[in-house]
Structures are given as C-alpha cells and as structure tokens.
Structure 1
Amino acid sequence: MASASHIMNDDMERAEAELSKGTSPFHKLGLSTAVFLRATLGFEKEVMEQAAARITEAEESAVEHQRRAVKDPSTAHQSAIYPPGAEYALCHAESQLMSAVIGVLNESLTESLRGFYKLRKAFATLYELSEAEQRYLRRIGKSSTNSQTSVVSGMDKSLSSGVQTPADGSGVLTPAQSVSDDEDNFVDAAETTTTSSKKTGYQDPFADDAMDNLTLNDMAGDPGTARPRASVNMKSAFAQADEEVDFRIITSDPIDLFIHSGTALCYGLLQLLLSMVPPAFSKLLAIFSFRGDREAGLRMLWSASKFKETINGAMVFEEANSLAAGLITLGFYNGAIAFCDVLLSTAVPRPRLQTLLSEMRSLYPHSKLWLLEEARMLGAERKLAKAVSIVDSASQQRGLKQIEALRRFERSLNCLYLHQYEECAKGFIECVGLNSWSHALYYYIAGVCYVEMYREHRISEPAKAASYAAKAQENLHLVYSHVGKKGFMGRQLPFDVFVVRKVRKWDARAKSWNCDFVDAVGVSPAAEMVYFWSGFKRMDEDLLMKSLGKLIAWSEDPKLNPRWGQEVVDERAMLAVLQATCLRFLGRVPEAKKMLVEGVWAHDAAQIKACDHADVWPLPISHYEMAVCLWDEAGGEQGDREVLRRCSEQISLVERSEGYELEARVGLKVTTARETLRKCGV
C-alpha cells in the first residue's frame, strides 16, 4: 500500500515498478489498481485489456488466499473484529468492482452484464464484512439503534445468512465463487434451493431468484453442500455512517482499519454511482435490483476520507483508501452535482470541500489530479479565467499521459465557455494525440469553434473568415471517419450518433440551399455543446450576456444570418431553449419561461420531429428548463408548494419523454432534481 500511494502523486511508473516486486494479493490489487486508473482515465482499449488481465490475477490471488485462510486461520491476519480471511475478501471485492467497470467499458453487452453480476457479488461480500463489524461493535457495547458507525443496515436479512455466526458472535467468511466460474457462467450451475415449489419454463438468468448465491459461503466445504440463499436487494440498504465516530478509537490494528475504510469506500462509491444513473439506464440496473442512496454514499465516502494521515508512522493501508475516497468525493461534487440545477441549499458543502482539497494538495503537491479538482471547483464558482490559470500551472509537470489528456480536455472546455474559440479548437486537436477514446468529439468541438470564428469575421475580415470556414469543414467532416470505433454495452456511443446526424444535416442543407457547408450550419453548435457540458452555469454575467447576444443576433441580424426567416422549426426550438437557459442564469426567469412557451411549446411536436435530420432534444429539455425556472421561482425547497408541484410535473414529462442522443448528459440533472423534490415532499 505504501508503493500504491505513489499513484496519487502521479508517479505511476514508480508505483507499478515497486508493486511488481511482490506477489501477495495486496501487491496484485495495488498493481491492478494502477493499471485500472490508467484505463478509466484514458478509455484506451489496449490499456483496458491489460487492466482486465491484471484484475483477474488479483481476483484469483485473493480467492486462493481467502480459501487458505478459511481452511487454516493461522495463515491469515488474526482480528478481533473480522473473520479469518476478511482482508482477502475485501481485496476480492475491490477487484470485482474494478472488473465490473472494465466490463461495462469493454464495448460488449455480454461483458457488461457479467460486470453487473460481479458488482452484485462484490456487494454481498462488503455486506458480510460490515455485518461482522457490527457484531463486534454490539459485543463491546459500541453499537446501538442510534449509532451511526454502521456502514450498512436494513439489507434484506437473508443476505446475512452467508455468515455463519457462532455463539460468541464471531463470523466465518468463506471464499466466494471462483473467478473461472464467473467467466464461464453468470450463475452457479449446481444449486440446492430452499423453496417449497419449483418453477417451470424459462427463468430469467438475471432475476433475483436466479442470482442469489452471492455470499462468501459459495466455496465452503464440500462443493455439493447446500449453500444459503441470499437475495441482494439494495433498496434501503444503508444506514448513516457517522462522520463524528472515528473507528481508530475502536482499534489500532492497521489491517482492521484497512478493512473498515475499504468497506466504507467501496460501499460509498457503489451507492453514489447507482444514485447517479440516468432514468433510462436505471431500467437495466433494475434487473439486478440495484438502487442507490446518494446521501448514504457520500456519508461513507466522507467517513473513509478521514484517514488521511498515517498513525505511528506505519499505517498506510487506510491512507490509500482515504485518498481514493477524497478524490471520488471531490470529483462528484465538482464534476457532477455542482452543475445540477434543482438542489437543496445544503447540497454542496463548499467550505468542507475546500478543506479536503487543501489537505490533499498538501499531501500530494505534485499530482495533477488535485489541480484538476481545484480548477473544477473554481469553474463551479464561475471563476473560469482563474480555473484556466490553475490548469496551465500543471503544464510543465511530469505525469501520467491520461491525466495530461484530462488536463487538456478541462482547459479546452473552459476556453469554450470563455468564448476563446481558437484556444479551444487547438486544445481539442491536441487531445487527439493524447487519448483514443472519442476523436469524433474532439474534431467536432474543434470544428464548431471554427464555425464561430468564421461567423465573427465573415463581414469584417473575409479572408480570415474563409480560412476558418475551411478549417470548420475539414474538422467536422473528419467526424465521419472517427465514429463507430468505440462503443458502450455493445452500442454506438450516443455522441457519435449525435455528431454524424448533425454533420449530415448540414451537408444536406448545403446541397439543398446551394451554399457553402459552413453557411448551412444552423443555430450555434458551440452554444449547444456549452449546454450539454453544463457550461452556462460556469459563466459569469458578462459571459452569459455575450452568449445571449450571439444567440439573439443569429435570429435578428440579417447580415449575420439572411436565412432565418425560412428556418425550420427544430432550429427555432433549439434557439429558444439556449436563449431561455441564458436568461435563467441571468436571473430573468419570467423571460426564460416565456421564451420556452413561445419558442418551443408553440410548435407542434410532430412538426419538429418531421424536420430533416431533426434536432428533437429541445422537446424534453424545454420541460427540464421550465422545471428549473419553477424551482427558482418558488425560491427552492422552502418555496410555494404549488409551484414546486408544477416543477415536479415538468420533471415527470422529462422522465417520460422519448429518448434522444445526448440524454445521458442531462440524465444526472433529472435524477438529482427528482431526488431533491422527493426530499421536499413533492
């Protein structure tokens, strides 16, 4: 774990070199984590394949050591809290979580489903570790109905059947199903059921009753022995993790603390991720009975993040878990929740986040990861110029290529929001050489920046404008050759579908109108990208006014756009949504509402959908924007109940709307809005 801590200081080569010297499950887990981080930061296929192989090694090693610990407890850590082999059970669960993520990112539906199955198995392991912890706390009188040291409670009680509990209250964790079994089948082939009747006919292999052998007892004793059933139902699964209770007063054993903080970290991450799932994707997760609890997840991550400093100069296990928890917590608030719109007034604890970031920057001054988080925090505070400056300060530091790609990506987006189109285009083209995930995205955003520059100079500097027009056409048509190379769960990436449709639309318009390609481009595609990347919320008043002015000019200045009078309704609806968003962020809510009603809802939905290569996203998004306007009009959670009820109705319309390409870009906002309204009793 000391070697693994180099990961958080961007010294990946040193971390991997030192971790490669050992063969224990901890070494293998650390090594797989290092490669996993590179894989998930860069989404490069070859790195993901390498990560999958390393994670499999870590899984196999953890299973073997856990099996040995069950047969001979003297070979494992002797804990007063956890059963023999618990440290290896945690290593196995963490490996399974990483394997699940890689499976989903592996562009295969089969691998994705297998990943979800592993996620369930990891969850069951973590639950049993937490139950063992709770039994100990009750035994020493530290647990009560009001105690919040528990990581988990309220789980389907049948899950606890996976832990054999002797009279003294201790548990016996036995190894989970082998990795090879996981690879061959989603469920165990042999199974003894406890139900009184048998089902006939086809049974869904992913239904609860077919995927319930998920406890650590799966490989205990004789393989033919009946195994307890354990239905993993994540609904209401977690109790509150009390951030005021420091588990270090319970034990000073470093491996116990590693297990405790690791369990809190993994549980917290699981709950957080599941709570962020967009409405459409949640239907798939429902197959696996997955339900998230955002508040519980964040409490657990905050709890895990307490272990930032070593104790007695030797305990680094929990420090590594703390760093991971800190990074996840900051990333969640700065990169996701900060840009949602329907939030409780207490949803973002800024002082606490600033303290956490300051501590992490102090511990790891050479890491670009923490600089990126600082830049994102500044962006959330509408200090974009300062955010770019912070990101630039990391340009000379050595570090992981994937993190450098993130740095360039973050800087380029901020330049887009600052209307610094040339810098934005340059940055995204540079990303092509750093990352292989979505070159279509990079070329598309670069291309739409050149469209904006063409429009800015078309009248005043025709020669310069012609140069920008050529670059716009070149970059936007590069999109065709860079889509379809990546996928998600066996399907083409939504953004790839989106950009191909957009470029085809403009090609068709250029042919129909007999004009240059760049003159056939419709309502600002740069502003459209700003919307889907939550850029308007990062803009200060001056930048918002500049954005609004550009949008108004497109429909009112005949020199800039002589064809607006004949423009089709989907373009008009798109312009209305973008203008309404700017007006809302400027505090001009009544104007924003009027713009949505007159600019979108005044058009027949069927008419919008009937447009060639239609942009249909303004239809559902207009309801989301109206919901936010109503939330602002009500004054937040303490506002007029009738207005909040109407806000909820608008969110329901978004939830029930037909799908559109970039739905996932708004899905988290919709999910968060619904969760917020539920807390308000609406």
Structure 2
Amino acid sequence: MKRVGGWLNPSKSSLASSKSLTAIDEPHALQEAMRSASLILNDEMERAESELAQGTSPFHKLGRATTIFLRATLGFEKEIMEQASSRLADAEEAASDHRRRAMRDPSTARQSKIYPVGAEYALCHAETQLMSAVVGVLNESLTESLRGFYKLRKAFSTLQELVEAENRYLEKHVSSSHSSLASSNATSSGVLTPADTGSDDESLDFQDAEEDVGGARQPTPTDYQGHLDLPNVRDLKLQDNGKDASASDKAPVTVPSAASSDSTRLARTAYDELDFTTVTDDPIDIFIHSGTALCFGLLQLLLSMVPPAFSKLLSIFSFRGDRENGLRLLWKATAFKDNINGGMAGLITLGFHNAAIALCEIHSKEAYPEARIRALLSDMRSLYPKSFMWILEEARMLNADRKLESAVNLLTTGAGVSPLKQVEALRVFETSLSLMFLHRYQECADSWLKCVDLNNWSHGLYYYIAAACHVELYRISRDSDLAMAASHKEKAKKLFQTAHSQSGKKRFMARQLPLDIFIQRKFAKWTAKSRASGRDEVEVIGVSPLEEMIYFWSGFPRMASEQLQLSWDRLSWSDDSTRNPHWTDEPVDERALLSMLKATTLRCLDRQSEAQKVLAEDVFCYDLSQIKACPHADNWSLPVGHYEKAVCHWQEAGGQDGDRGKLQECSDELSKVEHWESFELDARIGLKLTTARETLRRIGIGHT
C-alpha cells in the first residue's frame, strides 16, 4: 500500500485547528480526563459526559468517545452507533493532530524515557480506531464493516510500534540479566501488520496515513503472523500504582503451550515478576503501558471469536486471533483497574469468562479460573460500587453454578433500576433468560416484552420467545381450563405474528441476523403445516419452541435437576399420544430434534450412557438427506447431536486428565461437526466447538 506522509508533513491548517497541549499541561489533562472517565465504570455516564465536555484535550475527547461507545455496544441501537461514529471520528482527529505536532517539534513535546515522542497520542489514536472498528462491524452496512476492519489493521500497526519501543527500553535498562535474556528473542514483537498490497488500496477513499510513532520510518514486515507473541510485554507483572496487588492480580497466568520456544520461555522467566511501576512512575507512561495491554488483549480476543462464516472476510485483512494471548494481556491490564484502561479490561475479562467460557462444556480447568474471577469481581465492585455491570456478572456466575433462583432474586430484588438505559436493558435481558430456564412462563413472557421497550436489537426474538411461553401455558392448561387455554393460544398467535413482522429488519454486515432467519423459517413451517392439516398455527407446532430457545441460549447446563426434569416433561408432551395425538404425523426432522433435546437433558442429568443411546437410536438413525427432504426442515439436530455426543465422551473421561481413549472419541465426534456443511444457527455452538478443539489440542488429542 502506498504510504502517506501525513504524520510527518502535516498541513498548516490542521495544526491551527486547535490549541496543542504543552508538556507541562499534559499530565494534568490526562489525570483530569482519567478521573472523569472512571465514572463511566460506575454507571455515572451523565456526570462523566459533563466533566469530560469541559476539556478539549485528546484525552477528554477519548473519554467522551468511550462513553458513547459503551452505550452503542451495550444496546446495539442504530442512532447511538451513529453518534458513536461521529464522536470517535472527532477524538481520532484530535489525537492525530496532537501526534503530528509532537513529531513536528519534539523539543516542545513531552519527553518519555521509554516511548517515542507523541506515543500517548498514538495510543489515543489506536484506541479510537479500535472502537471505530467495532462500531463499524456492528453497523448494518457492509461498507462500514469493511472500513472497520481497515481501521483495525491501522490500530495493529500503531500498537506494534509502541510495544517495540517498550521492549527496546526494557532490554537496555531493566537489568543486565534481563537484557541478555530478552535480547535473544526480541527481534520482533510478534505483532506484524498485514503485508502492503501495492496499489490495490490506493483507490480506497478511507485511507489513513501509515505512520511511525517515532517519526522516522521503519521497515514494515512483509508477513502478518496474526497472533500476539510478546515475550517482553505480555508477561510483565502489572500492579496497581503504589498499591498492593489483589488476589486477582497475584493468581498465576495461564500456562503457555508446549510449543513455546526456549528463548520465549527465558524471556518469560526474566520478566514475570517485573512490576512496571518500578520501571516508571510517570502516569503518562503507565497510561500508555496499560492501554496497550488493553487494546492488544481486546484485539486478540475479538479476532479469536469471529464466527467461521466471516473468516473469508478476515482473510482479506490477514487477521487471526489468539485467545490465550488476548486474555493474558487483559489480565495484566486489570492490575491498573483504578484507571479506565484497567477498568475496561476488567469488564471485558469478566464478561468473556461469565458469558462465554462458563457456558462451554469442554474446556480446561485453567480456562475458567473461578477464584481469580471472583477476586476481580470483588475488586471491581469495591472500586465502582454504583455500577450494575458487576451485579450482572455476579448473576451470570450464579447461573453458571446452577443457582437460577438466586440469580433472579439478585437481578430483580437486589439490583433496583440502572440509570443507564442500555445497562437496564441488559439486566432485564439476563432476567428473562433466567426465567426462561426456570420455566416461569408468564413472568418470562412479560420480561421479554419489557425488552422491546428497552432495546431494539431484535424485537422479533423477544416477541418469539414470549409467544413460545404462551404455547407452553396453552399446552399445560388445555386439558384442565379451556378458557385459560384459549386465552394463551390467542396470545401466542398474536405474538408469533408480531415476531414474524418484526424479524428480518436488523442487519449485521448487510446480512439478516441468524435468529431472524430462524424465526421466519419456523413461521413458514407452521403456516404450511396449518394449511395442509386444517389446524391453526399453534396446534401444528411440534417440538417445544421454548426448549429450542433454551438450548440455543445454553440453558440446559445452567439448570438444576428440578428444572431439567421440567424440560424433560415439556419435551415429553410432544411424543405422548394421550396429550398429542398428532405426533405420528410429524416429519423426521421434528423427531430427530426432539430426541436430540432429550439426549441433552439426560446428559445434563449426568446420565451420559442413556443420552448416547437416545442419540444413536433416535437421532443418528436418520441421515442428512432425510432431514433436508422435510419441508422447511430443522437441519441442526444431526451436527449438534454429534457435539452432544462429544460432550458425553468428555464427561465420561472425567475431563482433561481422564481416559485418553474417551478423549479421542470426543475429538472424533468434534471432527464430524467441524466438517459438517453449514447448518442453521451454527454460530451458536461455534465458540463451544473452538474452545473444545483448542482444549483437546493442548493435551495432545488431535484428529485421527
């Protein structure tokens, strides 16, 4: 790609656009902005906005951009995303201007013993680009998504230079022993930008200058490695400035893979116990250090979670994530949790573990360090006691422990109402999920309908689940209270119709949301069955749509035995001829789906052998062609059935240290899913599949 010397040759007009911070003013501006920005983590958004608006520095503008960015990513609301894009662009421009000025006249700029001139603004610039990239990808426009990936690439380039500058300083100044160990492997930070693509990018109307932090150009690597292998930076022992590290900071980091090189292990040993505040007490240097760890960690984590469906798009930009490195960096950044960088790292780390990893059935013991997570949550609640985000995280941990009632009580009686609409929407959303898993149908339906007023992410989904609750209430009351049954049937009909009319309106990277496609197909299936049989849409519904939703939202592993028994009873309604005489008319896709969900229920009740028998006799007895031949087929029971069988083998083995034969059988079943053609909502188990494969790979279990 053609380099543009925008950093080194700024226009006079851009330099005159706003007053530049002096080296004397800069620390005060940063301290003021960081103090105000920390209010964001305490749910005091309005106060943070007000205080940050009083300053015009790049730090203040970054803080204001962060407030609207959080609103946008928590709520997925289009108008908020548009505001975020505008404010991020303003913050990006301010950081760019100040960085140019610092590089143009270094003698008047702040001098750091570690980082090159203008590095603090380079970090601000990279952070705004990273946030802009996330907003762009969440945007409904494919063009904006592509712009977002381009900004992601630019952020990588800037952050790489900051890392290398820090590495060079540590090698020379920390100690002679550290220097000799680190020098053997410090030829590259391991964070390489994608190769230049000649003139191909010159036609892009959203090009940015490809700058060097220090002003002097350095060679750009020709290959992008895609993963962060930062032996010097990622393993620093970060601690709060002048404070004792909490238990969450002292906990051991994830053990590196056996494939690590000898030189990397040496460097890791050399720097593991290094407290960065012993290297410098300069608040701006600490801001750069913690911010770089946050950004690199988030980048790696996000890229490692991209669904396979978007891998081709990512390959254009040569991106590949590394979850282990990303989490290691985020944990390091949490040591500075009293500033916005560390606080954001804490929020991301807790959210990833409690909303993602805790729901994966196949993972190593180290993948979910419960004691460390609880310590981090305790620290965050102490530092930011007004925030509802920590209540959400505590509720998620209760759910993971199968304490659904306690989670609902915490969310409904002990939480109150968040002053931030987007956080309040999350509280109601989490409450709705827990009520769904508890089979508290009326409360669940009412709660999902509240989500409609709080968030516009997927109204179709909210109405659909509410309707599914009334289907269950109809089936329960049909033989005992005809009037009540008729009322629930009518409500289910109206809600399903509303769900159908509301689905398909949202877009992600110019595509319909997968759940919207699912809802539209289900409605088409029931409509066709209704016309063919002469019965209404509620009567022709086969397998419980609510139990399907419970599976898609990983509810079965979070249920105690009482709730699992309720799921078994609701599933058994379908093939009970005394309650549902029409089951014999159901096509094979419904039969396979019912049996797969029953097998999952048995597996979660620790009845693995029975679960496998159901899978073998009542799911795998059908082949894919039979399933696909059904009108508007539910095509996911076979591949997901193989995943469930893999989990059975994992549980029978006793986990990562168990029977190798069973673990190999687990791997073999995963391979079948990995090689399966695309199926409906495959992204719902994508993270589980990736986590399972990586877990097995690390213990030496591979494909046969």
Counterpart in the other structure of 1:666? 685
In 2, the alpha carbon distance for the partners of 1:266 and 1:152 equals 22
Q: Is the 8 A contact 1:439 1:482 kept in 2?
A: yes
Q: 1:9 aligns with which of 27, 36, 42?
A: 42
The answer to whether structure 1 residue 141 and structure 2 residue 174 are counterparts is yes
Residue range with higher mean Cα deviation, 613-622 or 71-80: 71-80
Matched-pair contact (CA < 8 Å) for 1:278–1:670: no
CA distance in 1, matches of 2:526, 2:356: 32
Contact 2:160 2:189 in 1 (8 A): no
Asked whether the 8 Å contact 2:596–2:637 carries over to 1, the reply is yes
Q: How does 1:142-541 map to 2 (within 5 A)?
A: 142=175, 143=178, 155=190, 184-185=204-205, 214=210, 216=212, 228=220, 231-235=223-227, 237-239=229-231, 240-243=234-237, 244-309=273-338, 319-393=339-413, 395-541=415-561
Amino acid aligned to 1:438: S
Kept in 1: contact 2:59–2:124 (CA 8 A): yes
- Whether the 8 Å contact between 1:104 and 1:115 is mirrored in structure 2 is yes
Structure 2: distance between partners of 1:229 and 1:449: 56
For residues 152 and 258 of structure 1, what CA distance do their matches in structure 2 show? 25
Give the Cα–Cα distance (whole angstroms) in 1 for the partners of residues 367 and 403 of structure 2: 20
Aligned partner of 2:553: which letter? W
Q: Which residue is equivalent to 1:120?
A: 153
Q: 1:442 Cα deviation (Å)?
A: 0.5
- Cα deviation code 1:493-552 (max 9, x no counterpart): 111100010111111112211112211111011010010100111101111122112212
- The CA deviation at 1:323 is 0.7
**Worse-superposed segment, 270-279 or 431-440:** 270-279
- Cα 1:94–1:391, aligned 2, differ >3 Å: closer, same or farther? same
Instruction: Please give the alpha-carbon distance, in whole angstroms, between the structure 1 residues aligned to 2:172 and 2:303.
Output: 33
Matches within 5 A, 1:564-583: 564-583=583-602
1:377 Cα deviation from its structure 2 partner: 0.8
Residues 322 and 226 of structure 1: CA distance in aligned 2, closer, same or farther (over 3 Å):
closer
SS in 2 for 1:587: coil
TM-score, scaled to structure 2: 0.85
SS in 1 for 2:366: coil
Q: Is the 8 A contact 1:276 1:672 kept in 2?
A: no
Checking the alignment, whether the CA contact within 8 Å between 1:278 and 1:671 is kept in structure 2 is no
Cα distance in 1 for partners of 2:481, 2:182 equals 70
Q: CA deviation at 1:186?
A: 5.5
Shift of residue 640 of structure 1? 2.6
Checking the alignment, whether the CA contact within 8 Å between 2:191 and 2:228 is kept in structure 1 is no
Cα distance in 2 for partners of 1:473, 1:158 equals 53
Query: Contact conserved, 1:130 with 1:152, CA < 8 A, in 2?
Result: no
Identity of aligned residues (%): 57
Residue 615 of structure 1, aligned match among 630, 634, 646 = 634
Equivalent position of 2:92 in the other structure: 59
Contact 1:124 1:232 in 2 (8 A): no
Asked if the contact 1:151–1:264 (Cα under 8 Å) also holds between the matched residues in 2, the reply is: no
Please give the alpha-carbon distance, in whole angstroms, between the structure 1 residues aligned to 2:404 and 2:203. Answer: 47
Q: How far does residue 293 in structure 1 lie from its aligned partner after superposition?
A: 1.7
Amino acid at match of 2:142: L
643 and 459 in structure 1: CA distance in 2 versus 1, 3 angstrom threshold: same
Which of 617, 631, 637 is the matching residue for 1:598?
617
After TM superposition, give the deviation of residue 146 of structure 1 in Å.
Answer: 6.4
SS in 1 for 2:35: coil
* Counterpart AA for 2:690: T
Cα 1:154–1:93, aligned 2, differ >3 Å: closer, same or farther? closer
Q: In structure 1, what is the Cα distance between the partners aligned to 2:70 and 2:699?
A: 38
The worse-fitting range, judged by mean Cα deviation, of 125-134 and 542-551 is 542-551
CA 1:570–1:366: 2 relative to 1, 3 Å: same
Output the amino acid matched with 1:364. Answer: Y
Instruction: Please tell me the residue identity of whatever aligns with 2:96.
Output: V
**1:6 touches 1:14 (CA, 8 Å); kept in 2?**
yes
Q: Kindly tell me: are residues 280 and 641 of structure 1, through their superposed partners in 2, closer, same or farther at Cα, counting changes over 3 Å? A: farther
Instruction: Give the CA deviation at 1:145.
Output: 7.5
Q: 1:337 to 1:258 in 2, by over 3 A?
A: same
The 2-side partners of 1:545 and 1:214 are apart by 59
Which structure 2 residue ranges, 5 or more long, are not aligned?
A: 1-33, 238-272
Cα pair 2:297 2:330 within 8 Å, conserved: yes
Name the aligned partner's letter for residue 229 of structure 2. Answer: A
**Counterpart of 1:351 in structure 2: which amino acid?**
A
Q: SS in structure 2 opposite 1:659? A: coil
Q: CA distance change for structure 1 residues 480 and 226 in 2, over 3 Å: closer, same or farther?
A: same
Residue 280 (structure 1) shift: 3.0
Change (3 A) 1:583 1:525: same
Give the alignment's Cα RMSD to 1 decimal. Answer: 2.4
TM-score (norm 1): 0.87
Shift of residue 305, structure 1, vs aligned partner: 0.4
Any idea what the Cα deviations from partners look like across 1:340-399, whole Å, max 9, x if unmatched?
011112221111111111111111111111110110011111111111111114553441
How many matched pairs? 624
Q: 1:493 to 1:237 in 2, by over 3 A?
A: same
1:649 aligns with 2:668: yes
The C-alpha deviation readout for 1:595-631, integer Å capped at 9, x for no partner, is 1111211012101111111000112111111111111
Deviates more, 1:103-112 or 1:545-554: 545-554
Asked if structure 2 preserves the Cα contact closer than 8 Å seen for 1:368 and 1:394, the reply is no
2:124 paired with 1:91: yes
